[in-house]
């Protein structure tokens, strides 16, 4: 088995040899051993934007999870191949909404609300869900533009069907002034709408999905940390629950968290509620700050972590031999409709 150092040397050499033919986007949650080779790093919005601009690259080796590679393929030109170094790098949240469940839920909601409802989906969803949204006039959102996109959606229709993360949907709508009593939850397993109060008043229907990583940051962690140190600032990702976001000092996408920490006062103390690799990277990058994870046991995204240096080296060496493994290709019809939903978002995001 090759040593870590040997793998670094091999990947460095291949990147040099392949030059512009190769482009490697890396999500902020990726391991350092992978991120060091990324040509662009970013949150899901930035990576979608960057992927749309890589005209010259023949191969886009996506260091992130499956739905991100699908998005890159949808936005890529036909000659480009998008490759995922390990096919097991999925997203448990995206897996919580499949297209059949979605079509069935949509039928029920149309019966209840007629034509007053617009679907929107977090980019953390399959290409088929994005296509469903595109076909029905909606758009994708990411955690960094969710607010803007939800406002846009309310200019189109009176109600929203927000897939698949109930927490990002609830936090975004709440921040825009929509009370919790005007939000309902669609349970795709029981095929039931859960709500309190008056159905006519419901403005947001949240798909009952969540991120298992961000569910690990809990109210008791916030209480414990505040007891230990009332002067600490707590910042979390909006995939955390409403209670956690409500109690934290601040919340935002991975990019927002990075920008906030970059501007933090020397010596200030921070507890961060997001994926482990990013928290550790910030800790290393800002030794003048006191940074820790909001959950002391740390929270890795196991599927993001499937992409590692051995997989990256293996996939790049295969490419050099003209062997294509793990190519992500989205069916043409699905890609067409999904692109409508993505383009709407990209045209509204700077």
- Detail the residues annotated as belonging to a binding site for iminosuccinate: 27, 44, 122-124, 143, 237-239, 254
Structure tokens at 56: 């010259």
Q: Does 109 bind ligand SF4 (CB under 6 A)?
A: no
Among 275, 278, 279, 313, the residue binding ligand SF4 under the rule CB under 6 A is 275
Shortest Å, Cβ 43 to ligand 13P = 3
86 contacts which partner out of ligand 13P, ligand SF4, none, CB within 5 to 8 A by kind?
Answer: none
Structure tokens at 298: 């740390």
Shortest Å, Cβ 350 to ligand 13P = 16
Q: Does 46 bind ligand SF4 (CB under 6 A)?
A: no
CA distance 63 to 312: 8
Residue sitting closest to ligand 13P (CB): 43
Among the candidate windows 3-11, 32-40, 80-88, 296-304, which touches ligand SF4 by CB under 6 A?
296-304
List residues binding ligand 13P (CB under 6 A). Answer: 43-44, 91, 124, 142-144, 211, 239, 253-254
Shortest Å, Cβ 184 to ligand 13P = 24
Structure tokens at 44: 């899901």
Sheet holding 159-163, edge to edge: 139-141, 117-122, 159-163, 204-207, 183-187, 192-194
CA distance 208 to 22: 38
92 contacts which partner out of ligand 13P, ligand SF4, none, CB within 5 to 8 A by kind?
Answer: ligand SF4
Of residues 143-202, which lie at the interface with ligand SF4 (CB under 6 A)? none
Of residues 73-102, which lie at the interface with ligand SF4 (CB under 6 A)? 91-93
CA distance 182 to 307: 40
Q: Closer to ligand 13P by CB, 44 or 54: give it.
A: 44
User: Could you tell me which of 215, 239, 174 has the C-alpha nearest to residue 43?
Assistant: 239
Q: What is the binding site for ligand SF4 (CB under 6 A)?
A: 65, 91-93, 124, 211-213, 275, 301, 303-304
């Amino acid at each position: 088995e090759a040593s870590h150092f040997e793998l670094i040397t091999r990947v460095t050499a291949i990147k040099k040899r392949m030059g512009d033919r190769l482009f490697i986007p890396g999500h902020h949650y990726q391991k350092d051993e992978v991120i060091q080779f990324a040509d662009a790093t970013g949150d899901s919005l930035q990576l979608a934007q960057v992927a749309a601009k890589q005209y010259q690259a023949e191969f886009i080796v996506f260091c992130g999870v499956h739905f991100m590679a699908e998005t890159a393929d949808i936005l890529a030109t036909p000659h480009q191949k998008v490759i995922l170094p390990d096919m097991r790098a999925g997203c448990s949240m995206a897996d919580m909404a499949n297209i059949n469940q979605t079509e069935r839920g949509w039928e029920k909601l149309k019966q209840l609300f007629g034509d007053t409802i617009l679907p929107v989906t977090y980019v953390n969803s399959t290409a088929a869900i994005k296509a469903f949204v595109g076909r029905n006039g909606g758009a994708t959102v990411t955690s960094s533009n969710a607010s803007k996109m939800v406002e846009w959606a309310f200019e189109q229709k009176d109600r929203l069907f927000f897939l698949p993360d109930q927490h990002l949907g609830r936090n975004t709508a709440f921040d825009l002034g929509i009370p919790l009593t005007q939000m309902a939850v669609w349970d795709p397993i029981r095929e039931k709408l859960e709500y309190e109060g008056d159905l006519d008043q419901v403005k947001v229907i949240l798909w009952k999905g969540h991120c298992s990583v961000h569910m690990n940051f809990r109210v008791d962690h916030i209480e414990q940390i505040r007891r230990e140190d009332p002067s600490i600032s707590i910042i979390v990702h909006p995939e955390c629950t409403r209670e956690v976001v409500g109690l934290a000092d601040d919340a935002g996408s991975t990019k927002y968290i990075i920008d906030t920490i970059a501007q933090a006062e020397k010596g200030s103390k921070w507890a961060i509620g997001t994926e482990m690799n990013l928290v550790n990277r910030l800790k290393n990058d800002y030794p003048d700050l006191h940074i820790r994870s909001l959950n002391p046991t740390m929270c890795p995204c196991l599927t993001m972590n499937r992409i590692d240096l051995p997989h990256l080296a293996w996939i790049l060496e295969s490419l050099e031999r003209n062997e294509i493994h793990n190519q992500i290709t989205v069916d043409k019809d699905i890609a067409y409709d999904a692109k409508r939903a993505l383009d709407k978002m990209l045209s509204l995001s700077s």
